[in-house]
A = this chain, B = another copy of it.
Amino acid sequence: MTTSEGRKAIGVDFGGTSVKIALVDDHGRILQRKRIETKDLPNQDAWFDTVCKGIDELKGDCDVRGVGVGVPGFVDHERGYIYELPNVPGWTGVRMSSIMEDRLDGLRVRIDNDVNAMALGECTFGAGRTYQHAVFVTLGTGVGGGLLLNNRLYRGAFSMAGEIGHVSIDKEGRVSPQGKGGVEQYVGNRRIVEHAVRLLEEGRTSILDDLCGGDRSKLSPKIIKEAANRGDGVAYEVIDSITDSLATAFASITYILQPQAFIVGGGVAEEAELLFKLLRLHLNERLSPYFANRIEIKTAELGSEAGMIGCATLALIE
């Protein structure tokens, strides 16, 4: 995607206890940033006051094109409206864009789901910048996604398209409120750890117990990745299983959308050479050669800044 030249925008990455704000230029570079603690603010009014004051300070005399806000939940992008943030109480039915625009002297405010914002950032300035059609996937507590189709973020009829975590990989699989067999029931952080613990409880030999100091409650995807890199059989089996589950969902998505690439980010995907190697292998097994030869899998490039940059991109390009 391309942006208007010589312009800047402010990205606001909404978190449950703090907000990260950045001034971003039209090359996706962060020029200035600040973090605002919000957990002790008494109410939503105070939240808007404090965050908008922070935006004003960061903006200074700079001519910015607008503000983009990414929130963890359901929004109506067109209307700038928050339906609900499942993990942040009190944010149901909020006219966020107009409330902020009022406090920011009419500066234009765009909002979106946070994963959509990250997808937009990665596909404009990061690993997806050369594609017209790409699928952004983030691996963490859950599995999130965003779709770049025909060079634009595709939001679907309800602003939340790309909910890849709920793509079923097993008709009779694990049940969740969203259905059966959703891929995030197999590859979310907690599921990864549970899988390793299950294998350990079967009495399998592994260095995982050493790495977590004998306390299995301390096991994490990071430790499992490290063990797999060191040749641990149990850890390898877990990574192999995750990647095959992901590959199943990716193959389905490929047949539906025929993207040029998957861009994979999030904690689980960081420093994860083995994970990407096995993902590629399993995806190839699950696609006809025509597609296997054409679909790329790339690591996201913007890391922990993807949120801020992506949010700013909402205001830079749309």
Chain A residues near B (Cβ < 8 Å) = 132-133, 145, 147, 149-150, 154-158, 160-172, 177-182, 244-245, 248-249, 251-253, 255-260, 285-288, 290-291, 294
Contact indicator A288/B253 (Cβ below 8 Å): no
Contact indicator A259/B156 (Cβ below 8 Å): yes
> CB-CB < 8 A to A244: which residues of B?
171
**In the complex, what distance in Å separates the CA atom of A249 from the CA atom of B287?**
17
Contact indicator B252/A161 (Cβ below 8 Å): no
**In the complex, what distance in Å separates the CA atom of A164 from the CA atom of B172?**
19
**In the complex, what distance in Å separates the CA atom of A165 from the CA atom of B160?**
24
Whether A256 touches B161, Cβ cut-off 8 Å, given contacts A180-B286, A287-B179, is: yes
Whether A132 touches B157, Cβ cut-off 8 Å, given contacts A169-B168, A169-B171, A170-B171, is: yes
Whether A258 touches B156, Cβ cut-off 8 Å, given contacts A179-B287, A287-B179, is: yes
Contact indicator A179/B149 (Cβ below 8 Å): no
Closest residue to A289 on the B side, CB-wise? B177
**In the complex, what distance in Å separates the CA atom of A294 from the CA atom of B164?**
19
**In the complex, what distance in Å separates the CA atom of A158 from the CA atom of B291?**
9
Out of B133, B163, B170, B287, name the residue touching A256 (CB < 8 Å). B163
Of the A-B pairs whose beta carbons lie under 8 Å apart in the complex, a sample of 12, sorted by A's number, is: A160-B258, A161-B256, A161-B257, A163-B255, A166-B255, A167-B252, A167-B256, A168-B251, A168-B286, A171-B248, A179-B288, A256-B256
> CB-CB < 8 A to A253: which residues of B?
256
Contact indicator B157/A150 (Cβ below 8 Å): no
Contact indicator A252/B168 (Cβ below 8 Å): yes
Closest residue to A252 on the B side, CB-wise? B167
Whether A167 touches B255, Cβ cut-off 8 Å, given contacts A179-B287, A248-B180, is: yes
**In the complex, what distance in Å separates the CA atom of A248 from the CA atom of B171?**
6
Whether A256 touches B255, Cβ cut-off 8 Å, given contacts A168-B248, A171-B248, is: no
> CB-CB < 8 A to A157: which residues of B?
132-133, 258-260, 294
Smallest distance from the beta carbon of A255 to chain B beta carbons, Å?
4
**In the complex, what distance in Å separates the CA atom of A251 from the CA atom of B249?**
13
Q: Which of A164, A245, A256 has the most CB of B within 10 A?
A: A256
6 new A-B contacts at CB < 8 Å, known A162-B256, A164-B256, A179-B288: A154-B257, A157-B259, A167-B256, A170-B171, A178-B255, A180-B286
> CB-CB < 8 A to A154: which residues of B?
149-150, 257
Contact indicator B257/A288 (Cβ below 8 Å): no
Contact indicator B168/A258 (Cβ below 8 Å): no
Closest residue to A186 on the B side, CB-wise? B171
Smallest distance from the beta carbon of A87 to chain B beta carbons, Å?
16
Smallest distance from the beta carbon of A250 to chain B beta carbons, Å?
10
> CB-CB < 8 A to A171: which residues of B?
169-170, 244-245, 248
